[in-house]
């Protein structure tokens, strides 16, 4: 049974999954602190849902703005039940092409920003003795792809941080879930959600072929995810990792099977490296 009048704090609510999940929560009567880098991009939420939504401008790469938003949210609604780190983008470029500044900027949004929000809300959730922190990762939190290797790496870090977090805060009654979408027809592939590194000519054909291959992936309907997310937050025992879509599990099972087979093929050499210290 879903609790009534729960309060969500969601980043990246202007479009994509963030918008879908924000509206799903509001439609069932929950309250939402909806945040986005540009306040005008979410002004329609206030017009449609009135006092059930608090819209705030928030750039997750600005720590003072994060802390201020959390303070305003808590003062406005008196509690925070669900905190959903959803803001992020992808950097398109090979490992050789991306600059250090481009990589830092990606990590500031995809890793440091979410951690800043987590650290800001934890004192509130601890004092309450309950709460649920969710983070939007990706199925590539389990594997990597060329051309978006740095984005993949950010999701590996994102997953590791949330897995450690789950062990550290369960003593306080706080739950953690990592959301792992597959390919969906969101605006994630738009110019606002993608940044491109500089180009080295020798990679041009490879990148063009890769991007062409991405367009052939079967994409899911973002609106179909809403009820699944609500079921996760309503669960007494939500999963640490939750796949969105029908293709993730078969894909990831195959990837791990290949990894185990490779490790086993080298197991004798691995064991020989143990040594015999007594």
- For the annotated catalytic residues, the residue numbers are 137, 151, 155
- The answer to whether 246 touches 137, Cβ cutoff 8 Å, is no
Burial tier of 148 (Cβ tally within 10 Å: 0-12, 13-18, 19+): buried
Burial tier of 116 (Cβ tally within 10 Å: 0-12, 13-18, 19+): buried
Strands 194-196 and 90-92: parallel
Q: Give the span between the Cα atoms of 187 and 177, in whole angstroms.
A: 23
Token pair 């925070």 in the structure block, residue? 80
- The answer to whether 205 touches 215, Cβ cutoff 8 Å, is no
- The answer to whether 176 touches 240, Cβ cutoff 8 Å, is yes
């Amino acid at each position: 049974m879903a609790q009534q009048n729960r309060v969500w704090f969601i980043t990246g609510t202007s479009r994509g999954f963030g918008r879908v999940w924000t509206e799903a929560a509001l439609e069932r009567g929950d309250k939402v602190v909806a945040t986005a880098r540009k306040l005008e991009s979410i002004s329609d939420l206030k017009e449609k849902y009135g006092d059930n939504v608090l819209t705030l401008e928030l750039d997750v790469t600005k720590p003072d703005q994060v802390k201020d938003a959390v303070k305003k949210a808590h003062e406005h609604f008196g509690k925070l039940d669900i905190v959903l780190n959803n803001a992020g983008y992808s950097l398109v470029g090979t490992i050789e092409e991306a600059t250090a500044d481009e990589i830092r900027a990606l990590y500031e949004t995809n890793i440091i920003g979410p951690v800043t929000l987590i650290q800001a809300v934890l004192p509130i959730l601890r004092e309450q003795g309950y709460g649920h922190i969710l983070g939007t990762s990706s199925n590539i939190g389990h594997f990597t792809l060329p051309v978006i290797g740095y984005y993949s790496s950010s999701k590996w870090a994102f997953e590791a941080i949330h897995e450690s977090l789950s062990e550290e805060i369960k003593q306080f009654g706080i739950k953690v879930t990592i959301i792992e979408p597959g390919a969906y027809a969101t605006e994630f592939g738009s110019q606002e959600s993608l940044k491109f590194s500089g180009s080295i000519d020798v990679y041009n054909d490879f990148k063009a072929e890769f991007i062409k291959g991405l367009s052939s992936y079967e994409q899911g309907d973002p609106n179909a995810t809403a009820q699944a997310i609500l079921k996760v937050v309503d669960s007494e025992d939500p999963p640490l990792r939750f796949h969105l879509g029908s293709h993730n599990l078969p894909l990831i099972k195959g990837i791990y099977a290949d990894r185990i087979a490779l490790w086993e093929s080298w197991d004798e050499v691995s064991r020989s490296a143990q040594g015999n210290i007594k």
